[in-house]
Amino acid sequence: MPKPSDLLQGTLDLLILKTIATGPLHGWAVAKRIQVHSGEVLAVGQGSLYPALHRLEQQGWLRAEWKDSDLGRPAKVYSLTRAGRKQLDRELDSWNRLSSAVQLLIETV
């Protein structure tokens, strides 16, 4: 069975944008939500998550601000920008085309 990191190749941006679209989250919460909502199948490590969050912020798709966390210490909280919502739509369209093509291939070959 492939490692969880193999499954995320090329889909990490989509997973992060979709997860943050539900509301502002800090990095650990993004990773935890992906893990929980995937039925514990997908796990995003810190070495992949934080560089991706930073890159998405640099591209203008995420906005980040420091806020006090539940633990009483500051945490960087990410929210989707208008450009991020548009990118999420593009990512979803691309994913749907790809997954439909794979499904078609599986069913016909």
What is the pTM assigned to this prediction?
0.88
Element (H, E) at 71: none
pLDDT of residue 3: 56
Q: What is the pLDDT along the chain (109 residues), one digit of tens a residue?
A: 455 545 556 799 999 999 999 999 999 999 999 999 999 999 999 999 999 999 999 999 999 999 988 778 899 999 999 999 999 999 999 999 999 999 999 999 7
Q: Cα separations (Å) of 72 from 25, 34, 68?
A: 15, 24, 6
What is the CATH code for 4-108?
Answer: 1.10.10.10
Spans of all domains in the chain: 4-108
Cite the DSSP H helix spans in the chain: 4-8, 12-20, 27-37, 46-58, 82-108
Instruction: Find all residues with CB under 8 Å of 23, minimum gap 6, and list them.
Output: 79
pLDDT of residue 70: 78
